[in-house]
């Protein structure tokens, strides 16, 4: 695959992260303001790895949006396609600093308003990527699905991080319908074990999650299991496993985004699936230790 850019469509927002490790947000007393959002983090990590990435996102016209834009510009990320919504506030996520899956509360507005994506971006990218978070609300969902179908028709790869949380989708929850629409596009799919448990409503171990994921036809499926490593498979092939190296976790925020950035970085270089997984694990390990 040629080494052109990755197009990520989805949330750019503010993470207000507790300064201390907390089991849930009721224990949080001080918050640190950081630019965040899974697709935005994903683009930052790709940029650090040397893979070009373009982000399409929607933010408000406020102080928080200035933090996001200043951070992207400082890190050399193109902000041309960041849509500024004057009538909406920049989305804020309050996150509990954690060594595992963090507790969070979402205060959403502008991120849901992503407008039409420039056709030239879709024509020129190699991979188009989004998240369950970004696709949980309209009109952003229709914008992203439209872009993905255009990209698929042009022979592009579809990538999805199904970072599912029930409270993000609200009522009615049509996440299952949206997910099945995406799997029809034969995506590169990233799931965490926590995502799988939340999405199915069952407390799954890796074996049960693999059994459930096996029903979906994807190009590649990666099931990340934290300290227990990664299970993965290519289309119609057997599952394989790579263990995770022991690391001293300083902060797990963005670890999944760094994992997927490491995977896609190697994938675009035509690396083998095992090389992609190893690079993903290495990149996530650096992030967990605060090196990215």
Predicted local distance difference test score (pLDDT) of residue 3 = 45
Predicted local distance difference test score (pLDDT) of residue 172 = 85
Tokens of 188: 């590169």
- Phi, psi of 155, deg, nearest 5: 85, 15
Predicted local distance difference test score (pLDDT) of residue 57 = 98
Predicted local distance difference test score (pLDDT) of residue 1 = 41
- Phi, psi of 174, deg, nearest 5: -105, 30
Pairing of strands 92-97, 13-21: parallel
How does pLDDT run across 50-87, given as a tens digit for each residue? 999 999 999 999 999 999 999 999 988 899 999 999 99
Predicted local distance difference test score (pLDDT) of residue 7 = 98
DSSP character for 211? H
Helices (H), the chain: 38-49, 63-74, 119-124, 140-153, 166-169, 175-183, 193-200, 206-213, 255-267, 273-288
Question: 114, 187, 190, 199: which is closest to 148 by C-alpha?
Answer: 187
Identify the segments of the chain with pLDDT beneath 70.
Answer: 1-3
Q: Does domain 6-12+37-89+111-288 have CATH number 3.40.50.1000?
A: no
Is the CB of residue 189 less than 8 Å from the CB of residue 216? yes
Predicted local distance difference test score (pLDDT) of residue 98 = 82
Predicted local distance difference test score (pLDDT) of residue 2 = 44
């Amino acid at each position: 695959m040629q080494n052109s850019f990755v197009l990520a469509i989805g949330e750019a927002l503010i993470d207000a992260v507790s300064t201390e490790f907390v089991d849930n947000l009721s224990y949080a007393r001080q918050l640190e303001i950081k630019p965040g959002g899974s697709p935005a983090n994903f683009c930052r990590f790709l940029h650090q790895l040397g893979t070009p990435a373009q982000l399409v996102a929607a933010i408000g016209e406020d102080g928080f949006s200035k933090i996001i834009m200043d951070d992207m510009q400082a890190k050399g990320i193109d902000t041309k396609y960041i849509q500024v919504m004057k009538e909406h506030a920049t989305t804020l996520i309050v996150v509990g600093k954690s060594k595992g899956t963090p507790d969070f509360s979402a205060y959403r507005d502008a991120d849901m308003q992503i407008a039409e994506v420039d056709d030239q971006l879709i024509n020129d990218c190699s991979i188009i990527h989004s998240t369950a978070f970004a696709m949980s609300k309209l009109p952003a969902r229709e914008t992203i699905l439209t872009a993905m179908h255009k990209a698929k028709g042009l022979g592009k790869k579809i990538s999805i991080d199904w970072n599912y949380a029930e409270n993000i989708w609200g009522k009615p929850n049509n996440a299952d319908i949206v997910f099945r629409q995406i799997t029809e596009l034969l995506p590169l799919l990233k799931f965490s074990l926590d995502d799988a448990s939340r999405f199915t409503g069952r407390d799954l171990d890796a074996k049960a999650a693999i059994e459930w994921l096996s029903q979906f036809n994807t190009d590649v499926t990666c099931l990340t299991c934290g300290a227990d490593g990664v299970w993965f498979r290519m289309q119609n092939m057997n599952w394989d496993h790579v263990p995770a190296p022991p690391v001293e976790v300083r902060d797990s925020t963005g670890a999944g985004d760094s994992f997927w950035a490491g995977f896609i970085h190697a994938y675009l270089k035509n690396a083998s699936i095992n090389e992609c997984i190893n690079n993903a694990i290495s990149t996530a390990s650096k992030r967990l230790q605060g090196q990215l």
